[in-house]
A and B are shown apart, each in its own frame.
Chain A
């Protein structure tokens, strides 16, 4: 796939998702307020019940900030759940049209996925700025130009990894009628083990090496840790390497699943 085509597909994906203006603002505001409210009340309750000033090494304000950032990053990683649409296309025969295009289906879908992330990216910037305005200097604690650049790289790696992780699961649709439950399970597991629901520091120390070796941390916690300056240069390089390694492994698995599934594809519904 040429870079020009990649950008074109991504731009069309973005235009499609931005064409529903009301949907964009309602979804953005309501979700942000719900996430903010949930984080505030949850951690308030935890701090009050325990009487501690630090939980998993975080102050109350730092935990709320972490929760908000990780939720915004999560949205950018998942986007509009385009991966779910891929399984649907296998199920209803929509995949057939991509089979006749002289381009890589994976690259085409990834470009669409990236384009569809634009609204989430806009939301990340808007709400990030709003948060800084509300919090003042405290909102920027630990964030430097270098950490922001590192965040961009870590977030890009998270995005590629998430797509590679979802791809083999979508391929299960060649055999199963509905992979929604598998996707929901993946989302749930990756939220817990990736530090989206609670910071990874809250897990027992013995679990931490495993969490660092698994791919999920690199979807949520790692980009936020990079942004807030809690990861040093060596940790940053190691994190990117693990994310890349998992992406390659999952890409290989995905190829095998899809090659096998393709043999049983009937294009039903076409």
Chain B
């Protein structure tokens, strides 16, 4: 449904020097900096797939989404979404996509959400019976039927986001772009949005591209992950595989017998010699060690400490991703 081939975007940004002198100079001449927001990226997203687009702020995630939604023009490369080139903005293309922006509302602030939905029905030309059916389904799934006549400005952030989701999905899009849909929501609202997206995916099978800074969004929703760092796609694969490919460390967690355990200071001194200390107390010694050193570290722990139970765990996916995104090199295949 989404095919991307070497898509890239550069921006020309005017830079103004700080201070009054800089402002005065800026009246006559400004320095222009060319920023590579997205370096050539290639990937595909299929029907019913939710793909997570993960990267730090300014990595190029939103720019990539904007290109695929037809909002901005690319500088190089090509993309096909449902057989259309997005930035040509064919109406048949726009009728089949949706863009949900966690930080930008599309509903009208001063009017009830129901009014906004009716307008969207006319914008997308949704037949009345189908509109009523979808509205009933979506408001039921998100449990917001009672709020339809409340002006949007009086809704809580979570309620507003639910209305935004409904607004974006009323026309039954086949491709959905979600740009940080859970940003700023409390834990319950985040969970409700996630569950809704999963149920919606099951019922309608759209292709979804999701950007989020919350690992839980990615872990719960995405079957696949695209890691983007400084505009460059550094990983395209499943969540499970990322630990295999890029998880160069393991965490050894040794629970100690309380009656025989040495003082915490001694435990820490030993653990520090083995690797990065995760925790060192009289009940637990946890250490992060390179894969190659796991056997030796485990052996030392077993010999030198009164170990009741030893677990060798893969590094947390979030930590692996964080390390990959922070490192300047070391792209995962």
Q: Which residues of A contact B95 (CB under 8 A)?
A: 102
Query: Is B124 touching A102 in the complex (CB atoms < 8 A)?
Result: yes
Inter-subunit contact B71/A267 (CB<8 Å)? yes
Which range holds the interface residue count of chain A?
20 to 34
Distance between Cα atoms of A183 and B157 in the complex (Å): 35
Asked if B71 and A100 make an inter-chain contact with CB atoms under 8 angstroms apart, the answer reads yes
Kindly state whether residue B111 has any CB partner on chain A within 8 Å: yes
Q: In the bound complex, do residue B98 and residue A100 qualify as a contact, i.e. CB atoms below 8 Å apart? A: yes
Is A50 positioned at the interface, with any CB of B under 8 Å from its CB? no
**Closest approach, in angstroms, between the C-beta of B80 and any C-beta of chain A?**
17
- The CA of A266 and the CA of B73, in the complex, are separated in Å by 9
- Give the residue name and chain of the A residue nearest to B75 (CB): A263
With A97-B104, A100-B99, A102-B124 as known contacts, state yes or no: A12 contacts B111, CB within 8 Å.
yes
**Known: A12-B108, A16-B108. Contact between A267 and B66, CB under 8 A?**
yes
A264 to B99, CA, bound (A): 21
A270 near B62 (CB under 8 angstroms)? Answer: yes
Q: Is the CB of A103 within 8 A of B123?
A: yes
> What does the 1/0 interface line of B104-137 toward A look like (CB < 8 Å)?
1010101100010011001111000000000000
When A100-B71, A100-B97, A102-B91 are in contact, do A15 and B111 touch as well, CB less than 8 Å? yes
Beta-carbon contact of A266 and B11 below 8 Å: yes
A97 to B119, CA, bound (A): 14
**CB-contacts of B74-111 with A (<8 A):** 89, 91-92, 94-95, 97-99, 101, 103-104, 106, 108, 110-111
Residue of B nearest to A12 (CB): B119
Q: Is B245 an interface residue (CB 8 A)?
A: no
Residues from chain B with a CB closer than 8 A to the CB of A2 are: 122, 125
The interface residues of chain A lying within 8 Å CB-to-CB of B104 are 93-94, 96-97, 269-270
Whole-angstrom CA separation of A94 from B125 in the bound complex: 23
Q: A265 contacts the other chain (Cβ, under 8 Å)?
A: yes
Contacts of B57-75 to chain A: CB distance below 8 A? 62-63, 66, 69-73
Contact assessment for B122 and A5 in the assembled complex, using a CB-CB cutoff below 8 Å: yes
Q: How far is the CA of A262 from the CA of B118 in the complex (A)?
A: 29
**How many residues of chain B get a CB closer than 8 Å to chain A's CBs?**
33
Which one, A8, A99, A264, contacts B70 given CB within 8 A? A99
Question: How does the 8 Å CB contact mask read for A51-82 relative to B, with 1 for contact and 0 for none?
Answer: 00000000000000000000000000000000
CB-CB < 8 A to A15: which residues of B? 111, 115
- Check if A21 is an interface residue, CB within 8 A of chain B: no
A164 proximal to B (CB < 8 A): no
- In the assembled complex, the CB of B70 is this many whole angstroms from the nearest CB of chain A, namely 6
Asked whether A4 lies within 8 Å of B66 as measured between CB atoms, the reply is no
Which single residue of chain B is at the shortest CB-CB distance from A20?
B110
Cβ-based interface call for A101 (8 A): yes
Chain B residues positioned under 8 Å from A269 (CB to CB): 104
Which A residue sits closest to B93, measured CB to CB? A102
B71 touches A96 (CB 8 A): yes
Chain B hits for A16, CB < 8 A: 108, 110-111
Enumerate chain A residues within 8 angstroms of B63, measured Cβ to Cβ: 266
A8 contacts which chain B residues (CB < 8 A)? 118-119, 122
Measured CA separation A137–B24 after assembly (Å): 60
Query: Within the assembled complex, what's the spacing in Å between the Cα atoms of A170 and B296?
Result: 69
Contact A96 B66 (CB under 8 A): yes
Check if A99 sits within 8 Å of B71, measured CB to CB: yes
Tell me if A19 counts as interface (CB < 8 A to partner B).
Answer: yes
Known: A16-B108, A97-B104, A101-B94. A270 touches B118 (CB 8 A): no
Q: What 7 pairs between A and B have smallest CB-CB spacing?
A: A102-B91, A102-B94, A5-B122, A99-B71, A97-B106, A102-B95, A96-B71
27 example contacts (A-B, Cβ-Cβ < 8 A) are as follows: A2-B122, A4-B122, A5-B122, A8-B119, A12-B111, A12-B115, A15-B111, A16-B108, A16-B111, A96-B66, A96-B69, A96-B71, A96-B101, A97-B99, A99-B89, A100-B69, A100-B98, A100-B99, A101-B123, A102-B92, A102-B123, A102-B125, A103-B91, A264-B12, A266-B11, A267-B62, A270-B179
